[in-house]
Every structure is written in structure tokens, then in C-alpha cells.
Amino acid sequence: MTAAKVHIVDDDEAIRDALSWLLQSRDVQAETWESAEDFLAAWTPLMAGCLLLDIRMEGMTGLELFDRLRERGCRLPVIFLTGHGDVPIAVSALKKGARDFVEKPFNDNDLVDRVIEALAFDAEQRAREAGQASVTARLATLTQRERQVMDLVVGGKLNKVIADDLGISMRTVEVHRAHVFEKMGVKTAVELARLLASV
Amino acid sequence: MGSFVFSALFANGAVAAIVEIRIFLDKGPMIRPATLLSRRGTAMPIVAMVLVVVLLGVFLWLLDRSEREEEEHALIRDALWVEQSLRFQLASDVDRLEQLADTIGRSGGTDVTAAMRHLVTTNPAVERVLWLDAEGRIAASVPPVPDGRTVAEGAEPGARGDALRLAGSLGKRIYTAPYQLPQAGMGFDVVVPVYRGRGYAGALVGVFSIDDILTHHVPWWIAERYQIAVADSNGAVLGAKSRIAEPKPRRSHAIPFDPPGKGMTLVATVHRTESNLGRTVLVAAIFGLTGSALWSLWMVRRHIRRRLRAEQQLRTEHAFRKAMEDSLTVGMRARDLQGRIIYVNPAFCRMVGWSEPELLDRGPPMPYWPPEDLERCQAVFSTVLAGQAPPDGFELRLMRRNGERFDALIYEAPLIDANGRHTGWMGSFVDITERKRAEELARQQQERLQHTARVITMGEMASTLAHELNQPLSAIASYSAGCLNKLRADTVAPAELIPPLDKLSKQAMRAGRIIRRIHEFVRKRDPKVAPCDVAEVVEDSVSLIRADARKHGVRIEVDLAPGTPPVLADRILVQQVLLNLMRNGMEAMAQTPREARLLRVTTRVQNGAVLTRIRDRGCGVAPEVAETLFSPFFTTKKEGMGMGLNICRSIIESHHGRLWFEPAKGGGTAFLFSLPVVSP
């Protein structure tokens, strides 16, 4: 995984330079890209951070790049830089899952704040994704009976009801339940339910 | 000769009468003068001429009649004279016969023959002399009778015998009736009784030939003029001096021829009139003169009629020209070679406000020359008089009488008279003040339209231009915010801030440039034609439109020929054309795949002009649209006004250039315009 940074894609050299200077002044690392095509060619799923994307560019536009990246499964948060008249385009981009848009000329530290938020979001997302990967692995260690018991526990059933449903003794249910809690690394049924809901 | 003078006088009188009629008519009331003149003017001389001819005829008839009367008198006189002369001759012959008879009576018949012969030979009219005895036998005959015939010889039987008896009984001479003589011709006898003592002793008969009487006793000068004949009571000619048969009866005079009597008449017939050559010539001359006078009168009349016709035509023509001249709105003014006004038409007077009499014969400086432009007017005046006026006219500011100035378009042409002599200059003046005002108005309208179109263009590009302006503004804001952040954190060395601040000021300048360009483009201004570089204009235009191109996802390629010579143009107007064409090109590529959207602007120098070509990769121009592409209010766009291309063309044409389009190779359309290079 590469270090998280802000990727600025704008065909205007001045904007690129000014933004990277601004971000640098707040100790945010930035990398600049001259065109959408350049960025698309360089993109890997391992890229972390966020994307500052100009909507209007010669050649491939920001919106197109956004669509391509989504197609390829890129989940980098995207903040669009828009001109005055481009708000409808930006709104449609938001609907497609863009994180934010900033209208030019922007309130600069506000932009930086949003960038930092996006970076944090990305980091969290990446962490969550990492967590999810462990839950899935833990689920795989459960036996079939333990899985059945877990589903019923998450469904909010009492041990006695579970015993009746499965045609086993209360004592057996408690053992399975203890195993599930242990394997899944949770202490309460509520914790378990939250963990499963995150997957 | 007298008659000639008379006729000449008469003719003169007639002419004088005609002249008088003419004078009378000229002084008379001018009611339809032409017809009046032609009716009386032609009738009166003809009546006069007819009178002359009639009077001449009467005169000649009277002359002829008096001549005839005179001739008649001469005839009667001559006839009487001839008759008298013949009677005298006959009487003298008969006297000799009586003397002879008396001699015979006294001498008893001796030596009678000699006397008889003497009588016959000396008297040619006497054919024969007979002496008959009392019994009527021939006693002697000269010339002798061949046989012994008696009294009855020659005359009809008994005629002489009767005469003998009568003579014997009466005792005086007796004439017989005419009878046919044996030799030829007619003759008659004169019987003279012979008495011896108291007793009748026979008779002496003289046989007279009528022809011989006439032949010998009518003198030549009578015979020359008259035919003298003797006729009997029945009119049968018994003898004549000359026997020329007259073709038609002439005037003649008959007098009784007595003796011999017996109904005989002496007829004098005019057989040759004196041919009066002088008079014939005179008459011929008179008639000839009359004829020629009539002819010349007719010629004069014809001439007058032709003249009248010509005058009428001239009057009509003159009236026509006058009406034409008065109806003209073009002022006409003619000047002589010295520049003095010799003619002005009403339109010219109306134009300048001075009347014709005030203008005529005026020389420079003319009253209608405005005082502030006197030198220029004087210069133009001299140019025209030198014959160097421009053939397609020139403009001059002139002054009306009320001081108002007006612009006149003047054409000067040499004035050539009927003999081909150059006598001056004719100038026509057209008041073009209104036209100029209208032109100025149209020009202003065109400018307004162009300006409006520019503003509309800018309005359409406003969002993209705002974006374009946002770029440097955003950069500026970012640089400054960055600097502030650093300063607040207090972790920065001042030198570190120099590059971003430097870049910031550059971006500020960039923003300023954009604003200036927009302002220049939209600002309302007078056209300013100056040498300008098309390449620069192209670059400016491209930089204005680049934001728009980005919005449309269109790439712009610019290919400028190095060192294009300057063209004489208003750069903003050319920029307007470029922007319009580029925007059209971009809009035409709306359906083109994004990667292929390329607008290519090239400049080339070609045939003394800078050729600019804007090529798109769009849908092209449909053939049915091609014709109306440049017409006003034609548009294929939803929000278009349809003025863009129309204005572009009028702008380029006002720069003496040309704007057209052609299909581009590989699809799309190329719009081209040429602007002439400034001639060195």
C-alpha cells in the first residue's frame, strides 16, 4: 500500500501548483497529474488518499475519469473542483458517489479541511475493509451448528428458544454460543450483531 | 411687251397681297395660329393666282378678238378692192369690145380681124372674140373656130342665142350665164350688139375665161393672203386664183360679182394667217411665268408647311425637354470656359436656394461655396476647368442660401456645341446629404449589430469565461492561503514564500489579461482599421475560447504560418469573426466522439492575402443549407439568432476580403476567410 496523499488532477498548471503549495502548507502530501489520462494510466487499487478532480479538462473530463475509476473498483474519495456553471454536473457526480465538490474560487482552508476529512475517511474505510476481512476469516472457522446458533443469537432469540428450535439441550446451546463468541472475538450478542452488520 | 409688263405687275400685286395676308395673320389674334395660317395662307395666293390667269386669258381673248376684227376689216376691204379692180378691168375690156363693135358698125367689117386679134392678144382675160352677123353666123373669129359651128358653140344651146336676141332687141351689152369653156374652166360671154346705121348688123361676142380674169387681174399680194374665187349662186366655184383645197372653212367674204351678175359672187377666203411668232412667244412666256410663279408658290407653301412642321416639332421637343428639365431632381449647371455660370435648371436653384437670374453670369467664388471650404472649392473648380474632373464624379460640401450645408455628388462633363466646339462644362449635382445620413445610419446600425453580436457571443461564453477567470483566481487564493498558513504556523523562512508569491502575481496578471480581452472584445467602440497581425488575433481569440473548448471537450490546434505580413483590419472585428467561426465549429462537433473533436486553425499567405482556415470534424454542411448559410436569421441552433455568419461575412467584406466554406477532407467543414495584405 502506497502512502496516502492527495492526487490533484487538473490541466491548469497554476491550479496544480497552487493547490499543492496550499496543501503542503497544512502538511498534506499532494501529487499532481496533468490530465485524466495520466492519472488513469498510473492508478492502482493500492493508491490511498483522495482525489481532487477538475471537472473541465481538455481530452478526458473529470467526470469521465470518475466513471472509469468507479468501473475499475477504485473507491478513493473524490472531491470535484467545479466552475460556477457546473453545479448540476457536480450534483449528478455526487449521486454517483462522489464525496464532495468545491466551487471555484474556493475557500482554501475549507478545501484543505475537506481534503483532510476525505483522507481520514479513506483511512477509516481502508481500516474497516481490513477489519471486515478478519470477520470473514473468523466466520469461516465456525462449524455449521455454531453458525446456526450464531444466526439465531443475532436474531435475538433466547437460549431456551434456540434449544427448542434446534432440538438440542440448553447446555449444548450455551457451549456453542461460548464458542461463537470466542471465535468471533466478541463479548456480547450486541457486539456480535454490530460486527456482522459491518460486513 | 405691254401684256408682259401687265402680267408681271399683276403677279407682283398677288405676291404683295400674300405678304399682306401674312402680315395680317401675324398681327392677328393668336388663336390656333398654325391652322389659321395654313388655311388662309394657302387659299389666298391660289385665288390670286387663278384671278391672274383668268384676267390674262380674258386679256388675250380680247387681243385676239380685236386682231380678228382687224383681219375681218382687211378681208372686206381687200375683197372690195379686188371686186372693184376686176369690175374695172372687165368694164375696160367691154368698153374696147363696144368700141370695136362701133368700129365694125361704121366701117362695115373691113379689117375687123386685126382689131379683134389685137383685142385678144392684149387682153389675156378675153378668150375669144366672135363677130356674128345678124343671123347669128360667125362672120369672124379670133382665134378662128376650126369648123363652121355657129352660135351654139360652147355655151348651152340657146344661151348665147338668147343673149344675142336680147342684145339685138335691147341694143345694149348682155352678159351670159357662166358656162363650161371648151378649153377648160368656166367662162361667160359678153354680147355687144353691132348697129350699122340704124339697123342691127349682128353682135360682137367676147368670151371671158373666169380663171384667166382671176389669174391676170388679181395681184400677187392679194393672192398671197386670200384665195379669190368666183362662185355661182349655188356656191359652186367657177374659177379661182389658186385651187388649194382648204382643210377647213376659213373666214371668207363674198361680194356679188356684177357685172357679169347672174348670181355670181366673188369670194375672198383667208388662206394664210400671218403667223405672229413674237406674240406666241410672249403668250408662252406669260404662261410659262405664271406656271413657274404657281410652282414657286407651291414650293414656298410646301417649304412653309415643312417649316411649320419643323417649328411645331421643335416647340414640342422644347416643351418636352423643358418639362423633363423641370421635373429633374438632379441639379444642372453649365459654365463657360472661364467658369461663369451660363445655365442652371430649377432643381439646381432649389438645391442652392438662389434664383436663376442671381446665379447667371456669376464667376468664382460662387455664392453657394461655404466660406470655410473656399480653398477646397476653388481647387476643385480649377481642376474641373483644367478638364481633370474625375469621370465617376466627386463629392463636395456646398451651402444653401439659408446657410445650411449639404453634400453634393457632382459629375462634370465637357459642353460641346452643335459645331463640335468645346464651349464649357456641364455639371450635374445630386444632393446626397440624405443618402449619406442614411449610409451613416446603416453603418451605425451595422456597428450596433456587430457589437450586439459580440455581447451575445460573450454572454454565451460567460460561464466558460468565468471558469477561465476562476482558474487564476483559484490559484491566487490557494497561493495566498498557503502563505498565510505557513506564516501562522510560524515555521517558514521568508525566502520560502518568494516563489509562491511570485507565481501568485503572475496569476493575477493572467486574470487581468483575461478581463482586458473580454473588455476589449465587448466594449462599444468605433471601428479602428490599422495594420495588424492575423497570427496575434488568432492567438488572442483562441485564448478567449479555450475555456469554451474545454467545456465542449474540443481540442484546438493552431498552426500559424511564420512571418505573416500585416493586414489592414480592425482586430476586434476579425477576432469576432474568428470566435464566431470557432464556436460554430465546436458546436458542429457535438455529435462527434470526444476523442475526435479537433478544431484546427491555420493561417497561410496566398495571392497577396492572408488566408485563415478553421476546420472542424463536425457533421458538415448539408447541401440544402449551404445556400442560405450566410443569410440573416438563418440558424441551425436552438438559441441562435442567425446573425453570426451574416455578420462575419459583412465584416470580412468590409475589409475587402472574402469569407466562404468548403467541405474538409476526412469529414467536417472548413470555413475560410482571406484578408488582403497591406500593400507596401
* pLDDT value, residue B14: 44
* pLDDT value, residue B543: 85
* pLDDT value, residue B1: 39
Same domain assignment for residues B255 and B298: no
Q: Are strands A100-103 and A78-82 parallel, antiparallel or unpaired?
A: parallel
Average pLDDT over residues B650-662: 89
Residue B649 to residue B642: CA distance in whole angstroms: 13
* pLDDT value, residue B365: 81
> Which residue spans within B469-550 are E strands per DSSP?
530-532
Residue B363 to residue B342: CA distance in whole angstroms: 10
Residue B436 lies in a domain: no
Confidence of residue B601 (pLDDT cuts 50, 70, 90): very high
Residue B560 lies in a domain: yes
Same domain assignment for residues B546 and B638: yes
Q: Which residues of A touch B481 (CB under 8 A)?
A: 22, 25, 108-109, 112
Q: Is B467 in Cβ contact with A104 (below 8 Å)?
A: yes
Residue A48 to residue A119: CA distance in whole angstroms: 8
Q: Which residues of A touch B484 (CB under 8 A)?
A: 25
Beta bridge partners of B677: B567
Average pLDDT over residues B180-189: 76
Give the minimum alpha-carbon distance from A102 to chain B in angstroms, rounded to a whole number: 11
Average pLDDT over residues B224-234: 79
* pLDDT value, residue B243: 59
Give the minimum alpha-carbon distance from A44 to chain B in angstroms, rounded to a whole number: 24
Contact B187, B110 (CB under 8 A): no
Same domain assignment for residues B117 and B209: yes
Same domain assignment for residues B185 and B118: yes
B499, closest residue in chain A (CA to CA): A21
**pLDDT over 80 (residue B314):** yes
Phi, psi of B601 (to 5 degrees): -115, 120
H-run or E-run covering B654 = helix B644-654
* pLDDT value, residue B502: 93
Phi, psi of A107 (to 5 degrees): -75, 110
DSSP H helical ranges for B241-334: 277-327
Q: Which residues of B touch A23 (CB under 8 A)?
A: 482
**pLDDT over 90 (residue B642):** no
**CATH number for B174:** 3.30.450.350
pLDDT higher at B487 or A197: B487
Instruction: List all residues 6 or more positions away from B485 whose beta carbon is below 8 Å from its beta carbon.
Output: A22, A25, A26, A109, A112
Q: Which residues of B touch A24 (CB under 8 A)?
A: 482
> Could you say which of B467, B481, B507 has the minimum Cβ distance to residue A108?
B481
Of B398, B431, B464, the residue that ends a domain is: B431
Average pLDDT over residues B192-215: 80
Residue B302 to residue B308: CA distance in whole angstroms: 10
Over chain A, what is the mean pLDDT? 85
Mutate to test the interface with A, among B461, B470, B473, B478 (most CBs of A within 10 A): B478
Q: Is A14 in Cβ contact with B470 (below 8 Å)?
A: no
Q: B256 is in which domain, residue-wise?
A: 109-270
Q: Does B471 touch chain A (CB under 8 A)?
A: yes
B598, closest residue in chain A (CA to CA): A59
**pLDDT over 70 (residue B626):** yes
Q: Which residues of B touch A62 (CB under 8 A)?
A: none
> Which residue spans within A26-112 are E strands per DSSP?
30-33, 49-54, 78-82, 100-103
A111, closest residue in chain B (CA to CA): B478
B508, closest residue in chain A (CA to CA): A14
Q: Does B466 touch chain A (CB under 8 A)?
A: yes
Give the minimum alpha-carbon distance from B640 to chain A in angstroms, rounded to a whole number: 20
Chain A / chain B CB contacts < 8 angstroms: 100
**pLDDT over 60 (residue B39):** no
Contact B594, A63 (CB under 8 A): no
Instruction: List all residues 6 or more positions away from A30 whose beta carbon is below 8 Å from its beta carbon.
Output: A5, A6, A7, A8, A19, A20, A23, A24
Contact B375, B347 (CB under 8 A): no
* pLDDT value, residue B303: 92
> Could you say which of B472, B547, B595 has the minimum Cβ distance to residue A14?
B472
Q: Is B555 in Cβ contact with A14 (below 8 Å)?
A: no
> Could you say which of B474, B475, B486 has the minimum Cβ distance to residue A25?
B486
| Three-state DSSP state, A159 | helix
Same domain assignment for residues B144 and B11: no
Lowest mean pLDDT among A19-28, B433-442, B641-650: B641-650
Mutate to test the interface with A, among B550, B558, B589 (most CBs of A within 10 A): B550
Of B431, B457, B472, the residue that ends a domain is: B431
Confidence of residue B23 (pLDDT cuts 50, 70, 90): very low
> Could you say which of A22, A83, A104 has the minimum Cβ distance to residue B482?
A22
Q: Record the cell numbers describing residue B511, joined without a space.
A: 486574470
Q: Is B470 in Cβ contact with A83 (below 8 Å)?
A: yes
Q: Record the cell numbers describing residue B270, joined without a space.
A: 383667208
* pLDDT value, residue B489: 85
Average pLDDT over residues B84-103: 83
- Percent of chain B whose predicted confidence (pLDDT) is above 70: 87
Residue B289 lies in a domain: yes
* pLDDT value, residue B440: 87
Confidence of residue A17 (pLDDT cuts 50, 70, 90): very high
Q: Is B551 in Cβ contact with A15 (below 8 Å)?
A: no
Taking each helix axis as running N to C, give the angle between helix A108-140 and helix A170-184, from 0 to 180 degrees, rounded to the nearest 10.
140
Confidence of residue B558 (pLDDT cuts 50, 70, 90): very high
Q: Is A58 in Cβ contact with B467 (below 8 Å)?
A: no
Q: Which residues of B touch A106 (CB under 8 A)?
A: 474, 477
Sign of CA dihedral A160, A163, A167, A172: negative
Residue B672 lies in a domain: yes
Domains and CATH numbers, chain A: 5-129 (3.40.50.2300), 141-197 (1.10.10.10)
**pLDDT over 90 (residue B313):** yes
Q: Which residues of B touch A112 (CB under 8 A)?
A: 481, 485
Q: Is A84 in Cβ contact with B470 (below 8 Å)?
A: yes
- Percent of chain B whose predicted confidence (pLDDT) is above 90: 11
Q: Which residues of A touch B479 (CB under 8 A)?
A: 18, 21-22
Beta bridge partners of B427: B333, B412
Tens of pLDDT, residue by residue over A63-106, are 889 999 989 888 889 999 887 667 788 888 888 888 888 888 77
**pLDDT over 90 (residue B2):** no
Residue B284 lies in a domain: yes
Residue B322 lies in a domain: no
* pLDDT value, residue B615: 92
* pLDDT value, residue B50: 80
Cα B50 from chain centroid?
A: 33
Q: Does B598 touch chain A (CB under 8 A)?
A: no
Q: 3-state secondary structure string, B6-44?
A: HHHHHHHHHHHHHHHHHHHHHHCCCCCHHHHHHHHHHHH
Q: Which residues of A touch B545 (CB under 8 A)?
A: none
Overall domain count for chain B: 4
Contact B353, B366 (CB under 8 A): no
Give the minimum alpha-carbon distance from A132 to chain B in angstroms, rounded to a whole number: 38
Lowest mean pLDDT among A95-99, B271-275, B300-304, B658-662: B271-275
Of B407, B431, B455, the residue that ends a domain is: B431
**pLDDT over 50 (residue A197):** yes
A57, closest residue in chain B (CA to CA): B550
Give the minimum alpha-carbon distance from B546 to chain A in angstroms, rounded to a whole number: 9
Its ipTM equals 0.71
pLDDT higher at B1 or B655: B655
Same domain assignment for residues B284 and B256: no
Lowest mean pLDDT among A180-189, B152-161, B263-272, B639-648: B152-161
* pLDDT value, residue B238: 74
Contact B118, B97 (CB under 8 A): no
Mutate to test the interface with B, among A21, A52, A114, A115 (most CBs of B within 10 A): A21
Same domain assignment for residues B592 and B471: yes
Same domain assignment for residues B42 and B150: no
Lowest mean pLDDT among A77-81, B57-61, B304-308, B521-525: B521-525
Cis ω for the linkage preceding A105 (within 30 of 0): yes
Instruction: List all residues 6 or more positions away from B326 whose beta carbon is below 8 Å from its beta carbon.
Output: B345, B346
By C-alpha distance, which of B672, B660, B520, B570 is closest to B611? B672
Q: Does B521 touch chain A (CB under 8 A)?
A: no
Same domain assignment for residues B102 and B184: no
Tens of pLDDT, residue by residue over B249-279, are 567 788 888 777 777 888 888 775 556 687 7
pLDDT higher at B61 or B466: B61
> Which residue spans within B447-541 are E strands per DSSP?
530-532
Q: Which of residues 522-561 of B touch A (CB under 8 A)?
A: 547, 549-551, 553, 555
Residue B175 lies in a domain: yes
Residue B437 lies in a domain: no
Same domain assignment for residues B405 and B485: no
Give the minimum alpha-carbon distance from B667 to chain A in angstroms, rounded to a whole number: 20
Lowest mean pLDDT among A30-44, B6-20, B161-175, B295-309: B6-20
Q: What is the pTM of this model?
A: 0.48
**CATH number for B409:** 3.30.450.20
Same domain assignment for residues B216 and B123: yes
Mutate to test the interface with A, among B465, B471, B546 (most CBs of A within 10 A): B471
Q: Does B498 touch chain A (CB under 8 A)?
A: no
Q: Which residues of A touch B589 (CB under 8 A)?
A: none
Q: Count of CB atoms within 10 A of residue B339's CB?
A: 16
* pLDDT value, residue B209: 82
Same domain assignment for residues B480 and B562: yes
Q: Which of A182-196, B41-55, B127-141 has the highest mean pLDDT?
A: A182-196
Over chain B, what is the mean pLDDT? 80
Q: Is B483 in Cβ contact with A25 (below 8 Å)?
A: yes
A83, closest residue in chain B (CA to CA): B467
B503, closest residue in chain A (CA to CA): A14
